[in-house]
Amino acid sequence: MRTIEQLTEELGGLAGRTVLVRSDLNVPLDGSTITDDGRVRASVPTITQLADAGARVVVTAHLGRPKGAPEARYSLAPVAERLGELLGRPVTFVEETVGEKAQAAVRAMSDGDVVVLENLRFNPGETARSDEERADFAGRLAGLADAFVSDGFGVVHRAQASVYDVARLLPHAAGGLVRSEVEVMRQLREDPQRPYAVVLGGAKVSDKLGVIESLITVADRLLVGGGMVFTFLKAQGHEVGTSLLEEDQVDTVRGYLETAAERGVEIVLPTDIVVADAFSADAAHRVVPADGIPADMMGLDIGPESEKLFVSRLSDARTIFWNGPMGAFEMEPFASGTRVVAEALVERTRDGAMTVVGGGDSAAAVREFGHADEDFGHISTGGGASLEYLEGKELPGLSVLEA
């Protein structure tokens, strides 16, 4: 992948050049309030580098899942405001993406200016399955700029107009965020320091089938929590009550357990579970053995003995990758397991281990618990992208940058 420095040389400098940047600004909002600005902060270095070099920086991004038409709740306006605060320079927000207002705003730019265009997914062409429709939208985006910089790691696993098609139309480079993310993921997949422990949680085991299959060949230990653990417990023949269960994946998980045993990879499952009679912060709850979940209750967190077990199996790890919370951490009675795992990673970071938080809910959790990004070796901005990279899949938004 070409660097910004190589792109600069190719263009004979960036001053006076309009550079379209695909950032990942898909942040959680409560109304118009950003509840976690981690992705916005991660986008700042590349935008700053380009603007300081005299480029006219046009930032594109999506937010949420609008259906190809404007929806006020998904406007990037509050994100653009926050970006300006973090950049320490004015940011112009344009209420459309490729129309006359956008074109006029780009024409009015001076060297070093930053413009943020409205949500890409307000346009059906961004995510269209039709190559022609996507290419048409990409052509209109590319028409705004002289060059393209891909800096949204969270979307590089998607062959979307602003990620893939635009890169085929303009001189392009990978931004600093994408390059650093790829280097971290490459190390996890190809050259981890050992012992290498992977912690997986979250709701569905089906979301992580590929990465489990891949990591069983690389990791030394696999610690499993979250909703997905109940499919593992069921595969061992245990009752899981009304817990989240993917019955159609039980045989697959049983096969993973057998493969891990054959390869000498340790699978660490909870020994106790916090169960409740409803999915509610106010629900009656208690701790039971992992093989003794009542038929009328659901598991919502790993238990205190499991917390100790997980910490012990992380205590000597030199590389840790974590993706997915250990329970329903948004509700305080079921947040302890996720909090303890986060604290264990912080401790390992202090001891010099490489610790990687794999984006998504895990990243949201560690910030909700008050941890700084610097408490970990790396917090990924792309949960899905990081998992697909670790699976060994070809990511279209990366492969196109190599052309």
DSSP state letters, 89-143: S-EEEES-SSSHHHHHHHHT--TT-EEEE--GGGSGGGS-SSHHHHHHHHHHHHT
User: Across the strands, what pairs with 354?
Assistant: 319
Q: Would you say residue 5 has pLDDT above 80?
A: yes
Strands 221-224 and 56-60: unpaired
Residue 186 marked as a ligand binder:
no
User: Across the strands, what pairs with 237?
Assistant: none
Q: What pLDDT was estimated at residue 207?
A: 84
Place of tokens 């593992």: 232
Catalogue the active-site residues.
39, 204, 360, 384
Write the single-letter amino acid at 166. V
> Tens digit of pLDDT for each residue in 36-88?
999 999 999 999 999 999 999 999 999 999 999 999 999 999 999 999 999 99
Distance CA 32, CA 58 (A): 22
Residue 140 marked as a ligand binder:
no
> Tens digit of pLDDT for each residue in 259-315?
999 999 999 999 999 999 999 999 999 999 999 999 999 999 999 999 999 999 999
192-389 belongs to which CATH class?
Answer: alpha beta
Distance CA 386, CA 403 (A): 21
Residue 41 marked as a ligand binder:
no
Distance CA 117, CA 77 (A): 9
Residue 121 marked as a ligand binder:
yes
Q: Which pTM was predicted?
A: 0.91
Residue 208 marked as a ligand binder:
yes
Q: What pLDDT was estimated at residue 147?
A: 98
Q: What pLDDT was estimated at residue 360?
A: 79
Residues of the chain with CATH 3.40.50.1260: 4-179, 192-389
Average pLDDT over the chain, rounded to whole?
A: 96
Q: What pLDDT was estimated at residue 208?
A: 87
State the burial class of residue 220 (Cβ atoms within 10 Å of its Cβ: 0-12, 13-18, 19+): middle
Q: What pLDDT was estimated at residue 348?
A: 98
Q: What pLDDT was estimated at residue 70?
A: 95
Continuous H helices in 236-359 = 250-263, 304-314, 336-350
Residue 168 marked as a ligand binder:
no
At residue 155's C-alpha, the angle toward residues 150 and 157, to 5°, is 105
Residue 318 marked as a ligand binder:
no
Residue 54 marked as a ligand binder:
no
Continuous H helices in 143-217 = 176-190, 209-215
Distance CA 189, CA 216 (A): 11
Residue 101 marked as a ligand binder:
no
Q: At what angle do helices 360-368 and 336-350 cross, to 10 degrees?
A: 90
Domain covering 4-179: architecture:
3-Layer(aba) Sandwich (3.40)
